[in-house]
Amino acid sequence: MSRFTTLTAGLRTAVVATAVAALSVGAVAVAGPAAAKGSPTGDLAVTVNGTTYNPAAGKDVKLKDVAASGTVKIRGTHVTFDIDTATLGVYHYTLTGAADPQRMVTKPTEIFASKVPTLTAAQRAGVRIKELEVKDDTLVVRFQVAGGTLKVQAKDAPQGGIFQMEPEFASAVEVTHVLGSGLFYFVNSFTGKINFGDGTNAVSQAQSATGYHQMLLGKDSPQVATKTYQDGTTTKWLVTSGGRMGGVLGEDAIELSQGATNCTSNCQAQNRIRGSVPVPPNPVDPTPIG
């Protein structure tokens, strides 16, 4: 039995033991379908106020109107990151490098050091988790503060459209993205678009049965958001209320597609398009911006 499987089994036991106590603070465990839709390759566990929730396959856990403090920890097979309830920022967004044909790294690699909304102390006051749902490889959490709400959607997968942040405040919110160490933004010579990565070439399974990986590629995916700053490791975006800042990894990051529509209601983080849009070759010797 793998270390992750052992951990997961323990966490699921912990959820059962804490479910009754959680009800008193607004946590509700809800049974989902008998089997998860599709074939999830990930498995997310979420820690809130020191309690870890990792429902059984096909089940979900929901929290509603819960006071939150400290760090909300999200741990999956392919992805891990933290949300600081003091800033509503996302920190240490990391790909684990778990074995998978679509993986882009072979060891834990921090993709984003931080994704942080610029909010005043008055706007951030009174933080609560308005709603949270975790099921199999997906997470949706919405924070309520004095000035508005911030929603994070995430999927535990090695690549694809697997993350987005949606601020809803009275005015536009600046969101700053800082890449992890060793990563950089560059202009893709095949598409003319801005991507990020570390420049490491792909390794096929024929070349290495254990060290295989695709090229590490990604892009910021704005919707109703305007970029206000760009250098080799940092971008800043002004996001209109109801807009979002998404993150796309892998083939979806370099496909020859149009930009996102101006959706401001119930916008969803999407999975990979899986070949419906042409994908150009991998970049060759990308050069950091600046």
Tokens of 126: 């009174």
Q: Are 189 and 284 in contact (CB under 8 A)?
A: yes
Cα–Cα distance for residue pair 259/117, rounded to 1 Å: 22
Confidence of residue 54 (pLDDT cuts 50, 70, 90): very high
Q: What pLDDT shows up at residue 100?
A: 96
Please count the helices (runs of H) and the strands (runs of E) in the chain: 2, 17
> Amino acid identity of 150?
L
How crowded is residue 25: how many other Cβ atoms within 10 Å of its Cβ?
14
Per DSSP bridges, beta strands 109-117 and 173-179 are antiparallel
Tokens 């958001």 appear where?
225
Q: What is the pLDDT of residue 35?
A: 30
SS3 at position 166? strand
> pTM, whole model, 2 decimals?
0.81
Give the residue-averaged pLDDT of 135-144: 98
> Using CB atoms within 10 A of its CB, is residue 242 exposed (0-12), middle (13-18) or buried (19+)?
middle
183-241 confidence digits (pLDDT tens): 999 999 999 999 999 999 999 999 999 999 999 999 999 999 999 999 999 999 999 99
CB of 225 within 8 A of CB of 176? Answer: no
The whole-number pLDDT of residue 263 equals: 57
> Is the distance from CB of 48 to CB of 63 less than 8 angstroms?
yes
The angle subtended at Cα 130 by Cα 54 and Cα 42, nearest 5°, is 25
Do residues 178 and 113 lie in contact, with contact meaning Cβ atoms separated by under 8 Å? yes
Element (H, E) at 184: strand 184-187
Hey, which residues does 154 pair with through a beta bridge?
139, 163
Query: Is the separation of the CB atoms in 128 and 143 below 8 Å?
Result: yes
Q: Which of 227, 238, 11 is nearest to 134 (CA)?
A: 11
Domain extents in the chain: 3-253
Question: If you compute the radius of gyration of the chain from its CA atoms, what whole number of angstroms results?
Answer: 19
Whether 36 shows a pLDDT value over 80: the answer reads: no
Q: What is the pLDDT of residue 276?
A: 53
Yes or no: say if 150 and 142 are a contact pair by the CB < 8 Å rule: yes
